[in-house]
Each structure stands twice: as C-alpha cells, then as structure tokens.
Copies of this chain bind each other. A is one copy, B any other.
Amino acid sequence: MADTLDFELPERSRSVVETAAIGTGDDALDAVASWFEGHSNLEARFGEILRQSIDEVLDGQRTGRFDLAAKTVVKTERTYLGTKVEIICQAAFNLQRGRHMDYLIDGHEVDAKFSGKGLVKQSIPREAVGEICLLMHADDTRGTFSAGLLRTTPDVLSPGKGNQDGKREILAAARSRIRWLVHHGRLPENLLLKLPEATRQAIFNPPGVKGRGNSGQQRVNQLFRLVQRRIVRREVVLTVAQQDDGPKRVRDARKSLLPEGILILGHQDRHPHIARELNVPIPQQGQWISVQVVPVERDDPRPSTLLGGNRYSVVRAGESVHAPSPLTSY
C-alpha cells in the first residue's frame, strides 16, 4: 500500500502519510516511529533540520553558494552533509547517543542515514545491517524531502561486494517496507535556487558595478528590489551580502529603497500588522518581505494599510510609483 502511494501521490502533495495505526510487525521499529510521531509539526521539524544542514554546508555567507549541485561544492562537503544532518537531527530532537548506532530512541538503537540521491540506494555499512535506520532524503531543487524508518535486514540489501569495505546498498524494492515519518514533505524554500537565472544575475551583478567591486549592500538592495512579496530568510541575505551583519544590511536597504516606494517588512514593530493588512505573507523572526506600495484613496477596495496618515496598497502592474514622501519611517 505504501509502495503504490509513493508513486500515486502528486509530487508536491506535502502529505504526511498517516500510518500511525499500521504496524510493521517490528515492535522496536513501531516504538521508534511512535516516538517520532509523538512530536507536533513533524514535517516542519524535519524540514528545518534538513534546510539548516544544507545551508550550513553551503556556507553562503562566506562562499556565496546556494546550490548543492554546483561544482564548487566538493565531494568532501557532500559527504559531510550526512554528518551534519545526523548532528542537527540529534540536537533538534534532543536524542541520546546510541551505544553502537547514532541514536538511542525509546531504548532502541537507531542509525541516521542521509542521502541527497534518495531514500533507497543508500549504502549501509556492515555494522548497521539488521539495525533500524532513520533514512532521510532532501531534494532542494524540487523543495521536497522524506524521512522514514527501515530495518536494514539482508533481504532489503544488495549482496555485499567482496573487494569493498562490506557496504551494501538498500534495494529499490525496499521502498515498500519503509515506515514513513514524512513522505514528500515540503522543504523550506531555497529562494535563490528558485529564482530565474536572469534575476539572480541582476542581484549578484548590480548594474553599474563590475565584478568583485560590487558591494554586499548593493546586492542586498537588488534582492529586495527584484524579489518582492516572497519571504526572504536570513540565510538568503547573508549569501547575497557575503557579510556577517545581515540585519544591518536589511536596515540600510530599507532606507535606500524607500524612495522607490518599496517597504521591507520584518517580524518586529508594526511590520507583521502592515503585512497582514497588505495581504502579503507575514515574516517571522529572521525573515523579511519586500513590497512596493502606492498611495490609494480611502475608498479604494483593495487591501491597504495606513502609513504616516496616508493609505497605501500593493502596487499593481502598470501602476506608476511616485516617491512616497510621507513614508519617512514605518
């Protein structure tokens, strides 16, 4: 049943398959699954673990990288990503270390296995054969991830290769045996990866400034000028700025873009209220959203907010933007 579900679900269905009542016949594995399922927001928790792991390995603030598939990401870093996932997962769920495997969950040894390629086809070292594995997979391009439990008994593994270190691969057919915790979950967005190439070029190479001479501040200005009404995470700002004081860069961008009628809203002060009134996504801590506004009449039916005594709405295509002089601060 789980097997067919795997293929029938639309790719971005984001459903957490509810299998809590379906036993696997493996009491230990069921206990571990129940332990995880006792947490609220399991999809958000695993999603954040994987997003954070990928972002730390990309190290955008220092490298400007946002794409794991880029050739500037070397093999050592791809391998390390699995270790980072294991560490962050342990910290996020406050897991005890196992005696033989990575974790001890509800008294059972569990090994963490992350792969960028997929849940199956992962290689399992000899010492983890027969153990409960927490398999995790993320696809940053599609913005999806999955996490599931599988006992890696010999029948779900390829025959070992004599000349290797005894590593065996999880067979594709083992997919039907996975106890899903999150199936095709939604990975928090990698905004820069999702932008059209032309937009990225315009952000990383601001007009009138050549090559390495362009400043982080100008790139951050371009980011908020060109990418509007979308949540921008702190990591995105740091990757674009390649500087360590992201919030300061955002504050300066806020001043620079005001004459263009562009607001940059954060999670503090009246900003969430303004976002709600303008009907754009509401930033949480460590997030911002930019939106270009125009003055509107009091009886204008579209969503609007009051700033400095005047009423403003989100700009429409073709609408001309005047420098909104009363908008000195917000």
Which residues of chain A have a CB within 8 Å of any CB of chain B? 59, 61-63, 72, 74, 76-77, 79-80, 82-83, 87-88, 90-91, 96-97, 212, 242
In the complex, what's the smallest C-beta–C-beta distance from A281 to chain B, in angstroms?
A: 25
Starting from the known contacts A79-B79, A91-B242, 7 additional A-B residue pairs (CB-CB under 8 Å) come to A61-B91, A62-B88, A62-B90, A62-B91, A80-B80, A80-B83, A96-B212
Report if A63-B83 is in contact (Cβ < 8 Å); known contacts: A96-B212, A212-B96. Answer: no
Instruction: Tell me what chain A mostly uses at the interface: helix, strand, loop, or mixed.
Output: helix
Chain B residue numbers with a CB within 8 Å of A90 are 62-63
Once the chains bind, are B62 and A87 in contact (CB under 8 Å)?
Answer: yes
Partner of A76, one of B61, B80, B212: B80
Chain B residue numbers with a CB within 8 Å of A80 are 76-77, 79-80, 83
Identical chains bound together, number: 2
Chain B residue numbers with a CB within 8 Å of A82 are 76
| A-B contacts, 14 listed (Cβ < 8 Å) | A59-B87, A61-B91, A62-B87, A62-B90, A63-B87, A74-B83, A76-B80, A77-B80, A77-B83, A79-B80, A80-B80, A80-B83, A91-B242, A96-B212
Chain B residue numbers with a CB within 8 Å of A77 are 80, 83
Measured CA separation A63–B86 after assembly (Å): 11
Measured CA separation A74–B74 after assembly (Å): 18
Report if A76-B83 is in contact (Cβ < 8 Å); known contacts: A96-B212, A212-B96. Answer: yes
Measured CA separation A87–B91 after assembly (Å): 25
Measured CA separation A76–B59 after assembly (Å): 17
Q: Which of A87, A88, A242 has the most CB of B within 10 A?
A: A87
Nearest neighbor of A91 in chain B, beta-carbon distance? B62
Q: Which of A59, A72, A90 has the most CB of B within 10 A?
A: A59
Measured CA separation A191–B82 after assembly (Å): 29
Chain B residue numbers with a CB within 8 Å of A97 are 72
Measured CA separation A90–B65 after assembly (Å): 14
Chain B residue numbers with a CB within 8 Å of A59 are 87
